[in-house]
Structure formats: structure tokens, C-alpha cells
Structure 1
Amino acid sequence: MRRRKLLIGIGATAAGGSAAFGTEAFTSVQAERNVDVAVAGDQSSFIAIQPLDSANAGEYVNTESDNTVELELDGDNSGSGEGVTQDAITQLEDLFRVVNQGSQEVSVYFEDDSDAVTFRVTRSTETSTNGSNGQSLEGAANSVELGVGEQIVVGLTVDTLNNDVSGQLLDNVTLYADANASAPRQSIPEPQYVVDGDGDEPNTFVDLSSALGQASSGSVIGIEGGVSVTESGSVTVGTDDVTITGINGTPEIKTPSGLGGGQTFLDISGNGVTIRNLEITDDLSARGNAGGSNLVVGGDDAVVDSVQVTVNNGRTGNPALSVSGADPTVRNCELTDCVISAGGTGSVTVTGNFVTGAIDNGIFATSSADFTIENNQVNNHDTNDTNAKEIKFTSPATVNGESDTAAQMESLLTENSVNSVQVSGDAGTRATPDIVGSGEQFASINEVLKPGVQGGTAGGSSSQSALVALFEGGEYGSASNEVFDSAITHRKDNAVIKGLSKPKVTYTAMGEEDSTDVEIAGNDATVQDLDLVFTNVGGDSVGGEAFLDFTGADGTLQNVSVTYDPRSGAGGPTGYVNVSGSGTITFESCTFSDTSSGGSNRYVSANGLYDSDGTFELLNCEFNDGTRTDANVGSSGTAVYKENKFNATPAGGADSITGSMSGGELDITGNAFSSGAKVLFTSDLSGTVNGSSSGDNEAKATQLSENNGNVKVDVNFGGTVVGGSAQ
């Protein structure tokens, strides 16, 4: 039989690199990039790497004539994949599978030298797979056990946003397949007691409770994979350092139908207990009530690993898996039609879990612990439509090392496969182009920006704006797909509205209301890394209202492109970006463009801010296609305009900056202007100009001109004119 290899090519778009994986007979095999595999043992036992019949496999996976399965992530593949994007988190599901075609169980995992690349389990298709959805396959700590004939479906996460990929993205990769280890990877000694359903041999038992009756501290109880265990009532594990593990497969333990509402099935009160590789099932119709928790872990230093909990014939918002002791770990678990309560004290670790069908929040916690919450996925939550979130924490001390609530939210949204979170009473969202308007979660961009929160502890206002709203790369809205089609006022202080790879977001309802289209009203709000387009698909006339307005205090617009794109019937050229808040508002590294033919009044205007004695900082921005700005400072307002580029002379007039002074301060330096442009002040320069409060109009105008490439400066409509050879 010919060897099948996996070749991964990550080209120029993602900083380069390739890796090859070989497969053949093994007792323990490792395959490294661009080398043949050293093999040992039975030549009839081997691991197979096979492409999937999935959309992503069709785009990114090629099968070569030399029996190589090739992943092309640089856009050069024969499919339609466009490669891995820089400064983004790219998730590619269902790429290939690793199959155990041998005669013995194996544990498989990957090791590589890149923090930017993560191999993980995916189960987006109907293809069966071992492991929990979203579970990392990186390192022995995340190995997955494959029985004979079993397989694992593999995908990739490539994070070029949070990792330095200036050099090689992926250099060395190893796929390990170990026939002598048990997965997950922790060293599990031979069980002293075995639950085999018969109990005919020494140290074998019919059920778990009988085995626990013989166990002492440090005991290992193995439950045979082919056994379906039925207990007569609740089971308590009160002995410290006991391990309960499935062996030779995954056994099923049925929750007793006689347990009443609120009663716990498996109660883990001992410290240092490990529960792993079990399937716990619960039949709500047989129990006749909503049911209590199936697995409650109250002891300290507990580990719950690769446990499946399935609730049949009904869904419950009760925590089927609940941890509450000190320093617990829940990893690689899968819950169906039920939820995880991740309580506890100290350090709480919840990683690589998959929750589906929750009627409420998928993963929640009410304790003030230090949480590590990574690589979890929640699907089909909030089936009762109560505005529940995929992850909800009421009062965490830290989340993934972050103590600030907004940073905690951003970490939860980017480190897990979720789109909605609630932390300390605030809401956070993560949009992707495929789910906005699809009916899956967000009907529109307005719901991403203003998702509301669920009531209760730290519930807050149900109509609340998002504290964090993240947008994955891509396009949101267009003339034919109006998902941002009504005005919105975002009122959350300290909010972060952020693109993860500068997505294009189109607002399509300019002119439908005689008011601002998008208003940022919260204090200290940050809007960054977005491409915003404002248009009027309905053809409504656009009057003198602002289409984007910062009305709060101390806001920031950073690396945002703003395009005014009026269609027929737009009316006069009077739309603009307004800054009418207070304090210091900064626009940095932004671009302003106008697609209409008459752009003389397409202002970035901060008149309201100056009237409130505020400071407007305009730094490293570009003005294209006839756009311009003003600098009308009041008695104590301040305009700081530095290193901006005015790339075109505004249509209908040559003033790229129009201003006036009645005191206040101008700090305008290092700006570049197109040929023929000018800076116009309609009043005397009666304030401080570039650090100078003395001198007449000519002296101050000359200083402005010299500090800005000798641009023409006009004071009082020709009363004083200096400069004029700007490049």
C-alpha cells in the first residue's frame, strides 16, 4: 500500500511555509516537514490522512497524483480559496481526517513551532469524529484516542492578528500517533477496580457505586467501553484523588429515572478527583421533571475531561455539568441540550468544550474567580428566546488574564467559537458576514451594536448597547442586502467597536430620517479598523444631517475608512462626519472619501466640540475625492491637525481646511496638500497658532504655511494671503 502524506503550503499571503506528514505502520510514529517517516512495528497497522467531501476541503485541499493530500492556504490551490488573511483570525473547518486503519487503539496529536497555527477538532459536517468540537489537537495535553476504524476530523485556526508572522508562519510540524498511550494524554495507571457490568471476576463490579465502595485515595476505577451502567440512585465520590475513567472505549452511564427535580446524579465532593472518557445520558421524559445536575463537582483540584452529557426528550437550562470547588478544570467535554456551570474559586479552566441546544446560556458562571476560557464552542443556544448569551459571567476577577471588562469580552469572543457574551452585566458580540441577516443570531448590524442583555444578576438594561462589538473580515450589507438600514444611537461608555480584519460595513438608509444615521453617544468610545460606507439605496434626499456623529466625551476613531456614497436623489452635497461631544476626541489614521461629483461641503466638522471648549485631534488621516475639514475654534477650543494628507482639491472651492478663531488654539503642522489647495480662515487669527500667541495675521499665517509645506493660507477672504507652492 502506498503511503499517503499531508502537505500544508502557507504561502506569501500568510508569510510562507510548508509541512509534510507521512503515514504508515507504527507503534509510535512521528512525521515531520519534508522528511520521510521513520516507522516501526506491524506493517499492517497505519494511520491514513484523507480529504473530506466538504466546502472547505473543496476550496483548500488538493489530492495529488503521488497520493499526497495537499492543503493550499496561500490562494494558489485549484479550489476557490483565497488564502489566509494577514491581521486576522482565520478558521478553516473540516479540512481532512485522520483515520486509524490499524489493529490497536492510538492517541493522535500535533506539535508545531507556531503560535499562530492551531490544529483542532471540527464537526461542522455530518462526518463522524472523535474528540470535542473546537478542541485543540496541539500537544500531548490535547491528544485524542482513536479506536480501530475511528477517525478525527481536523481543521485549522490561523491567527495572524495576535501573533508576529513577520518571519515563517509554520516551519516544523509533527503528527504523533502513539499506540501505547491513552488519550487524553495524562498518565492513567492500570485500574485497580473495573466496572464490567458482570462483577464475576475479582475487583470487577456491576456498577460504579459498588466499585466506589472499595476505592481508597489514589484508586483508579475503569469502566469498560462496551458497558451501559445503570445506577439505582445518586452516586457520591467523596474519596480524594480517585480517578474514574472509561477504558477500551467510552461507556454510557444512565442518569436514574427515579431522581426527582433538583437532585444530583454524580456528586463529586472529594478533592483531586478526575472524571474522564464517560458518556452520561439523561431522559427527561422518564424522569418527569426538568432534572437536576447530572454531574456536580464540588471538590478542589478536580478534572473533568472528555465527558459527554446528553439530555434526551427535552432541553434544560439547569447546569448538567457544574463545578464549584477550588481550581477545577473542565476540558474537551460535549454537552447536548444542556449547559455548563463553570463556577469555583481560584483558577477555573474551561477549554475545548462543545455545548449545543442550550435553552439559556451555554456556559455560565457566577463566581469571582480567575477564568481561563478558550477553544469552546456553543451552538444553537437560547432556544427559549430570553436574550441569553453563549457565555455569561456575572462577576469574574479575570478572564484569560484580563481584568478589564471590555478586554475580558474581547478575549472570550476571539478565543472561543461564540458570537455573544455577557460579562458583569454588559453585552459583547462578534459578527461574521454569514450570520448577520441569516436568522441564526443577528438580524441586522443594529442588533450587533445593540444586542441587549439578559436580566437577573448583573443583568443591566435589556436594551443595552454592546460594550464590545467585533466584526470579522468580509462585507456587511449592500444595495441588495440591506442589513444596516435604520438609524442607531450607541450609548455605552468605554465601548469598543472593532473590525478584526477591516471589514466593509454599509449603511443603506441615509436620508430616511432627518437626523444622524449613526451616533456614538457613549463616553470614551473607540471605533477602529472598519471600512464604513454610507449610502441611500432608497434614493431619499440627504439634507444637512450628519451621517456619523461622535456626541460623547473623549472618543477615538482609529484606522477607519469613511465613504459618502449617495445615489440618485441624494440632494445637495451637505452630509458630513460630525464631532459634537466634549473633552478630547481623536481621529487617527482614518480615510475620508466622497464618490459624488460635488463634494465641496463633505466636511469632517468639529464645531460642536470646539464650542464645548474641547480638543479635536486629527492625526495621520487622508482626505480624498473632494473631502475637507474645518477648524472653527472658540474662545478655548483646540484643533490639533498633524501629518494629514489632503489628496484632492475640494470640488466647488479650494479650501481643504476652513476655519475661524475667537481665541483658542491651533496646532496645525506637517500636513500635505494637493497643488492649488488652500487653508481658509474667515476671521482674524485671534488665538494661539502653532505655539505662538503674538504677532498679526500675516505672521501667524506665514507660520502655518511654513509648517505645512508652504500651503496657501488665506485670512479674512483675501485680507491676508501667504504661501501657495504646496506640493
Structure 2
Amino acid sequence: MTEESDGTLKLRLPNVNKDAVTEVEGLLVVQNEGTQPVNVYFEDDSDAVTFRTTGDDTSLEGVDNAVSLGVGSQIRVGATVDTLNNDVDGALLDSVTINATVDPVGAGQSSPTPQYVVSPSATGGDNNRFSSVVEAVVAAEPGSTIGFESGTYDISDDIINAPSGYSYGGQNGALYIDKAGLTFTSLSGSVTLQNTEIGDVKVGTSDGLIQVHSSGVTFDGIEVETDYGALGSPQSFPYMVEFRGDDGTFRNGAVRLINGDSPGTPGLYAEAVSGLAVNNSAFQKAGAVIKSLSSGTFLGNDFDAPPAEGIVIYGSISGGEYSIRDNRVQNNGSTNGLQKLEVQSTSVTINGASTKDGLFRTLITENTVDTARVAGGDGVTVDADETASSVFNTISSAISQAGQGGYLLVKDGDYAGFNVGVDDLTIEAAPGVRPTIDANLGKGTSSRIVQLKSGRTGFVLRGFEVLGTDTSLSGESGVGFAGSDSLVEDVLAENCLTGIQFYSGSSNNTARNVTVRNSQVGVSPSGSGPHLVESSDFTGLISGDYNKSPEGLGASAPTTSRNNNYGEGVFLRAYDNDAITSDGDFFGTNGEDGEVVATDDDTTNITVKNVVTTPNEDAGIQ
């Protein structure tokens, strides 16, 4: 979205396919920065475009679909573009109007017409109108809707002064909801359920002020608030909302702590449920902690300075499937440090990703986060041009934050070399860019630009250009591994003596899809092996002082060379007998299986099989 010179906004819908239905998420954010609650809806001139809340199919178009936004509240807006069932000639739409009115329009996100109303002006239960939230819940039938007129309701006072005989479901001091399918919705304006009295106590076997123990319960446009100062700043106080029933929904609302900083109590908690949906809501100094969730969605939420964790999913979650997109989990100037979006397992699927690196990648790229944590490791963003405290501008400093099991997503730019002294760390380029690790800015050691230290395992380096300084090609290696079980992938190394080196003490390392140019040696495996070099390109090597001929692979440990491009005049060299097995490599000549076609006269005992006569077009970084 861009602003034109006349003050109008130009909206571009990305990646719209012809003759298809395209879902566009996270298109824009609408926030109420005024002084009173408003109702927001869209109007446009296109049948092909439907504006809706991010992550679901709830339309925002027309007065009947208006959503209520309290002061400071926001919604993230997506769009559905249907060019399959609509004729589109030229622009998808010429104009769109975003309306914000204080009039009581719409039904608040298509929630059903309420059968029960809670109002500050109600004097009893006549015509199903109540001044007490507890009384409305007691009266309501399963599957019905309780609508709230604009105002702030002291829910703790309602609970303490509940009608005689109200059992709290066995949970002392809680609003206990055990009726399936109840919907709590705002009829107009801002609706706040506030806790000013219940603190520093457990409220039964569970800790929720509002406890949901039945399925299909929805909160739509409801804001829940704890006044920490009014409670006397206790060391513990109830969760504000707790779900223990399946298919619960909290959307278009807020959960917040005011007048103090939380000692760590989550604002929203759920345990042993499925189908939980937390969407388009604002969390202020209050996180969401979810235990043993089998499935759920977290879409378009804003977590402002929660106590360390914005979203935490933990417990028995193996096999869990979640959609976690367009959330902001950041520290906006509080003293709570870096904020985390955390999933305590790798045996889950998030946004379709199921590998550890994939989980990190989707949590970081599809959300705005200080830190994404997966199974105990931290994932952070590295940006050479960034000065914000939540983003690291050097790879070395980011490694210190990520630690063992961590992940670094590196944006485009130039970076100094570095050492890796932790296990199971992945450092990869952000999608669509190739950052440069430049020895001119610094090296991991005097002879290696990037170094994996001895004894370390599980390192992955992916998607970089590694640039050496040595124009005489008599010194440094681009990437050096002294550890084991590690991978260098999609890397271009230039101006080095050796592009990739697996040196003494290393074992079971892989170089995949690498290109080495303007260097004398492509990959040099030593240590105990076995190592693998595959789908790589060494046709850009040159001669120099070190070798009389360019050496694509020079191995002194058992190594398999598979589907690599060597070209004419680039050799394999085995420094120990039978060190190399060549399988499906291209040498720029017609050879036959069993022939030593890729070595100079000094090299013996290389097993060559499946020699190809055309290069692997997919090998290396072109």
C-alpha cells in the first residue's frame, strides 16, 4: 500500500492468479487511534474482491458485517480475490472505502442475534436483560448468544456477589461456563470485562477468572482486563480467560493488564483442547500459554510487551497442527526483554512446515517477532542495516542469542565471518536474497572465514556467498568444518584457496549445491569421513601456486562425489587410496565406468562409475 500525492492510498494485491481464487493474508491493519469506540466496515465496487479478517472467512464488507473496535484496538485485514467465478477486465477494483462510525451498526462480526443482553442500565432479568454477567450466564441456554452493550463491567464484583446457590462449577471465585455453544459478543462500542478484586489467590483447581469448560464457546469483540494496581500488585492472580473445552474462539477483542507489570501470569490459557482459535486480538502485558493443544489457529494478534512469552504452546503436542500467521510479538519499550513466540516441540506442523528449520522459518517470516523459540532453541533475525534492539546486525551476536538448537534468518547485506561453537545451529539466508560473508570485514579464524569448531555437530549453513580476500589464493578457506554431521548448502565461495574444507577431526559432513569460483580447490575433505559432496559446480576453479591444476575435490578421507560438474581440466585427487567414489559426475569428456578419467597422473585408486557426458544443469549456484 502506498500513499499518493493527493492523499489517497493505492492498494496492490500481490500474486493474484487468473481464473483462480486467491487468498491474500495480512494485507493491512486497521487500528482505532481515536478517543471513542467505532464500528468499521468496507465498501468497494468489485464483486471479485472480498475484504475480510485475516485468517478466516468473516467478511468485513457492508454495514451488516461491521466490527466494533475499542480505543487502541485493531484488526488485520485480508482479502479473497475470485477471478474464477467473476469476469475481470482491467483493474480488480477502482476504489474501496473504509468506514468508521460511532453508530451502533452491524452485528459485530456476524455473531447471532442475542437472546440475552447485559447492560449497565439493566435493573434485573426482565426481557432477558441483566446488569450482571454471572446472572446472564446462569440464565442462558446452551447455543445462545449473550450481547453486551458498550461499557465496562466489573466481573470480579459480579463473581463475588453472585446469586445465592451459584456453584461456580466447583471453581471458587470464577465465572464458570459449562454451556456448549455460548457466544459473548459486543452489540456496539467497546465492551470490557474487568477484574479489580480477585488476586493473589487460586480460584479452584484451575486458575482462570473466566473458565470455559464446554465446547464451541466464542468471545467476539470482548475485552478482558485485570487492574494490577487495584489488586495490590500480587505475586499471582488468575488467568483472565481459560479454555478447557474444544473449538473455543477468542476474536476481535483484547486481553490486557493495566497499572503495573505482570509477574508472569498468562492472560489467556488453554489446556488439552483442540480447535482453539485466537484471532485479531490485542494482548497488552499478557501472553497466551497453551498446554497440550492438538490443533488451533493464532492469526492477526498483537502482543505488546508480554511477560517474556507472547505465545507458548507446550505439553503433549506431538502431532499437533497449527496455523500461526500475522501475529506481532514484540517488546515496545518495556523492561520485559525480547519477546518470544514459542513451540516446545519439533514434532508438530505449523503453516504446513514440519521440519525444525521449517518451523523456525515460518514463525519468523510469517509473523513479526523478537524471537521464535522451537524446542528450546531461539530463532532470531539478522539484518546488517538494522539498529532496533530486537534485531541483530552481526551474525556473531545473533549466535550468542540463539545458542544450541537455534536458528538465524539473515537478511541481505554484508557480514563478517564468524565461529560456531554450539551444536545444532542453522544459519540461513532469508527467502529471495543471498547475503555475503566477507573476509574483508573479519574472519572466524586467520585461515577460515566461517569455522565450525572441533567437536560441534549439527551445523547448517545455507544460502550465502562467502568472499575471500586472498588474491594470490595461497591462504584461507571459505567454510571450514572441524565438527561432524553438518551441512553447507546453496553456497557460493569465491577468492579462496579452498572453498569448503572438512578438516582434521571432522566426520559425516555434506557439501550440497555449492559453487566454488576463482579458487584452486573446491572441496577438501579430511578427518575420518565419510563425507558427501553432491550437485555442486567446480568449473570456475583456476590454477595457482598451491596446485599445478585446479582441484575440484581433494580428499584424504572416504568421500562420495555425486552428480557434480568438474569440466575439462579440473581434477579429483585422492590423497589416500580408495578415498573417493565418483558417481554420476561430469568431467567434460566421454569416459567409461571404471576409468580414472578425472585425475592427473599422480592420483590412483578412485572408483568412478556412471560417468555422464552432459553436466548437471541443477548443480551449484549459477
Q: 2:431: which partner in 1?
A: 500
Q: Which residue of 1 aligns with 2:573?
A: 659
Cα deviation digits, residues 550-598 of structure 1 (max 9, x gap): 344454433322344xxxxxxxx7565313343362331x33345xxxx
| CA–CA separation in structure 2 for the residues paired with 1:276 and 1:360 | 26
Give the aligned partner of residue 377 of structure 2: 426
Query: Larger deviation: 219-228 or 356-365?
Result: 219-228
Q: What is the 5 A alignment of 1:331-410? A: 331-369=279-317, 370-372=320-322, 373-380=324-331, 389-394=340-345, 397-410=348-361
Tell me the SS of whatever aligns to 1:212.
helix
Say if 1:613 and 1:634, in contact at 8 Å, map to a contact too.
Answer: no
* Counterpart residue number, 2:238: 292
Distance, in Å, in 1 between the alignment partners of 2:325 and 2:60 is: 13
Distance 1:644 1:119 in 2: 54
Q: Post-superposition shift, 1:325?
A: 4.7
Q: Give CA deviations for 1:172-209 in whole Å, capped at 9, x if unaligned.
A: 56969899753434x42233233334436632222212
Cα drift, residue 524 of structure 1:
5.9
Residues 193 and 221 in structure 1, CA contact (< 8 A), matched pair in contact too: yes
Shift of 1:525: 4.8
The aligned counterpart of 2:54 is 136
- Describe the SS at the equivalent of 2:303: strand
Q: 1:708 to 1:392 in 2, by over 3 A?
A: closer
- CA–CA distance in structure 2, aligned partners of residues 236 and 109 of structure 1: 40
Secondary structure at the aligned position of 2:139 is classed as: coil
2:252 is aligned, of 291, 299, 306, to 306
User: How much has 1:679 moved relative to structure 2?
Assistant: 7.0
TM-score, length basis structure 2: 0.72
Residue in 1 aligned with 2:593?
none
Deviation at 1:224, TM superposition (A): 0.7
Structure-2 residue corresponding to 1:643: 565
Contact 1:586/1:616 (<8 A) preserved: yes
Q: Does 1:207 pair with 2:126?
A: no
Consecutive unaligned residues of structure 1, counting only runs of 5 or more, are 1-56, 75-89, 121-134, 159-167, 453-462, 478-483, 565-572, 647-654, 692-703, 710-727
Is 2:118 the counterpart of 1:189? no
Within the alignment, does 1:273 sit opposite 2:205 as a pair?
Answer: no
Question: Is the 2:525–2:531 Cα contact (8 Å) retained in structure 1?
Answer: no
Identity of aligned residues (%): 16
Map 1:302-701 onto structure 2 (within 5 A).
302-316=248-262, 317-327=264-274, 328-369=276-317, 370-372=320-322, 373-380=324-331, 389-394=340-345, 397-435=348-386, 438-442=388-392, 444-452=394-402, 463-466=403-406, 468-472=407-411, 474-477=412-415, 484=416, 486-492=418-424, 495=426, 497-508=428-439, 509-510=441-442, 513-514=445-446, 516-520=448-452, 525-534=459-468, 544-553=475-484, 555-564=486-495, 574=497, 576-580=499-503, 581-583=506-508, 585-588=510-513, 590-594=514-518, 602-608=520-526, 612-617=529-534, 619-620=536-537, 623=540, 628-634=550-556, 637-640=559-562, 642-644=564-566, 656-657=570-571, 659-660=573-574, 662-664=577-579, 665-667=581-583, 669-671=585-587, 681=600, 683-690=602-609
Task: Go from structure 1 to structure 2 and tell me whether the alpha carbon gap of 1:388 and 1:660 turns closer, same or farther (over 3 Å shift).
Answer: same
Amino acid at match of 1:632: G
TM-score (normalizing by structure 1) = 0.62
Quote how far apart the aligned CAs of 1:211 are. Answer: 1.8
Q: 1:525 and 1:374 mapped to 2: Cα distance?
A: 27
Counterpart-to-counterpart distance in 2, 1:112 and 1:404:
40
2:83 matched residue in structure 1? none
Determine if contact 2:213/2:244 at 8 Å carries over to the other structure.
Answer: yes
Q: Name the SS for the 2:526 alignment partner.
A: helix
Question: Which residue of structure 1 lines up, in the alignment, with residue 547 of structure 2?
Answer: none
The 1:591/1:512 distance shift into structure 2, 3 A limit, reads closer
User: Residue 61 in 1 paired to residue 3 in 2?
Assistant: yes
Deviation at 1:352? 1.9
Change (3 A) 1:111 1:644: farther
For 2:329, the aligned partner's letter is: V
1:137-191 C-alpha deviation (Å, 9 max, x unpaired)? 7742677735699997878899xxxxxxxxx9x9856969899753434x42233
Question: What is the CA–CA distance in structure 2 between the aligned matches of 1:517 and 1:422, rounded to whole Å?
Answer: 28
1: CA distance between counterparts of 2:521 and 2:295?
52
Compute the displacement of 1:408 (Å): 2.8
Secondary structure of the 1:140 match is coil
Distance of aligned partners of 1:147 and 1:367 in 2 relative to their CA distance in 1, 3 Å threshold: closer
Aligned residues of 2:257 and 2:285 also touching (Cα < 8 A): yes
User: Does residue 256 of the first structure (1) align with residue 256 of the second (2)?
Assistant: no
Q: Tell me by how many angstroms 1:386 deviates.
A: 7.3
Give, as a single letter, the amino acid of the residue that structure 1 aligns with 2:307: I
Residues 276 and 534 of structure 1: is their aligned pair in 2 closer, same or farther, counting only changes over 3 Å?
farther
- In structure 2, relative to structure 1, the CA distance for the partners of 1:61 and 1:189 (3 Å cut) is same
Which residue identity does 1:219 align to in structure 2?
S
The answer to whether the 8 A contact 1:277-1:306 is kept is yes
Report deviation, 1:340: 0.7
- 2:239 touches 2:266 (CA, 8 Å); kept in 1? yes
Partner Cα separation in structure 2 for residue 543 and residue 219 of structure 1? 79
Q: Is the 8 A contact 2:331 2:338 kept in 1?
A: no
Once residues 529 and 250 of structure 1 are traced to their aligned partners in structure 2, the CA distance between those partners, rounded to angstroms, is: 48
User: Quick one: distance in 1 between partners of 2:302 and 2:583?
Assistant: 55
Q: What is the SS of the residue equivalent to 2:329?
A: strand
SS in structure 2 at match of 1:451: helix
- With over 3 angstroms needed to count, the CA separation of the structure-2 counterparts of 1:148 and 1:485, relative to structure 1, is closer
- The verdict on how the C-alpha distance between 1:383 and 1:519 changes in structure 2, with shifts beyond 3 A counting, is farther
**In 1, are the aligned partners of 2:252 and 2:280 still within 8 Å (CA)?**
yes
Shift of 1:301: 2.4
Residues 222, 246 of structure 1: 8 Å contact kept: yes
SS in 1 for 2:490: strand
Shift of residue 276, structure 1, vs aligned partner = 1.7
Name the SS of the counterpart of 1:319 in structure 2: coil
Hey, what's the Cα distance between the residues in 2 that align with 1:305 and 1:149? 13
> Following TM superposition, by how much is the alpha carbon of 1:379 offset from its aligned partner in structure 2, in angstroms?
1.2
Letter in 1 for 2:135: S
Distance between the aligned counterparts of 2:119 and 2:330, measured in 1?
Answer: 34
How many residue pairs get aligned? The number is 540
Residues 313 and 443 of structure 1: CA distance in aligned 2, closer, same or farther (over 3 Å): farther
Contact 1:592–1:623 (8 Å) recurs in 2: yes
- In structure 2, what residue type is equivalent to 1:471? V
Partner-residue secondary structure (3-state), 1:642: coil
